[in-house]
Amino acid sequence: MIPKRYTKDILISALHDWHKKYGQVPTKREWKKAGSKPSEMPYIQNFGSWKKGLLAAGFEPRKPPPHGRKKGGKNKNHKRVISQGYVHLFKPDHPEAMKNGYVREHRMIMADHIGRKLLPNEDVHHINGIRNDNRLENLELLDKGVHTSITHKHLPKNIKKEACIGEGCELMTASKYRLCTTHYKARWFLVKKKRISHLLEGAERE
C-alpha cells in the first residue's frame, strides 16, 4: 500500500481543526495519544520538526505537562503535594523552577512578594509549622542556618527573635536582616532603584 503523502496545507489545516475542536494548541504527546491523522511524522518530514509545523500554522508551541501526575486525576493545575508535605506547582518558566519544571509554592510566593529570585542562603519558613499553608502571612524569609535550627529537632528551637527595625514596625522576626517580610520587600525595592546601597542603610534603630 502506497503511503499517503500530505501537503503542507493539509497538515496545517489539520492543526487548525484540532485547535477549533479542543480550544488549544496540541502538544505532540496529545496528538499521538488521540490517534490523530495524519500522525506527527508527516509534520517532521515536511517542516523539519513538530514545533516548526506548529509555527508554520501560526501557533505558539505549548510545553507538555509533566508525566508525574496521579493516575485517574485530572490535575489541571499540575499541583502535587510531596511526602514531606510541601506543595509543588508545575511552572517551568518561573525563576524558582527546579530542573523538572516544578516550583516549590512557598518559595514562589515569597519570590513574587519580594520581587526577585531567592538567594542560595535564604529559606522560607512556615510560621505555624504547616507546610502546605502557603498564605503569605504564614511565610517568613530566613537565613538558611536559622531556618535549619528552627525546623530540625536535634538543634535548638529557642532561636532569639528581635523586633523588626522597620520604622514603626512592632513585628518580631528571626531574619538575619532584622526585617519583617513587608519591610524587607520595601527595602529591597529601594536597593533596586539605587536609592540606597544596601538593605540596612539608614534602617538601624537608635
Tens of pLDDT, residue by residue over 47-56, are 988 889 889 9
Instruction: Tell me: pLDDT of 88 over 60.
Output: yes
Tens of pLDDT, residue by residue over 27-82, are 888 888 887 788 888 888 889 888 898 899 898 887 665 554 444 344 455 888 88
The mean predicted confidence, pLDDT, of the chain is 80
Residue 112 confidence (pLDDT): 93
Q: Which three cell numbers stand for residue 166?
A: 522597620
Spatial separation of the C-alpha atoms in residues 39 and 47, rounded to whole Å: 13
Please spell the DSSP secondary structure of the chain, one letter per residue: -PPPPPPHHHHHHHHHHHHHHHSSPPPHHHHHHTT-SS-SHHHHHHHSSHHHHHHHTT-PPPPPPPS-PPTT---TT-EEE-TTS-EEEE-TTSTT--TTSEEEHHHHHHHHHHTSPPPTTEEEEETTS-TT---GGGEEEEEHHHHHHHH-TTS---PPPEE--STT---EE--TT---HHHHHHHHHHHHTTSSSSTTTTT---
Q: Which three cell numbers stand for residue 177?
A: 536582616
Give the residue carrying C-alpha cell 510541601.
Answer: 86
108/171: higher pLDDT: 108
pTM score: 0.44
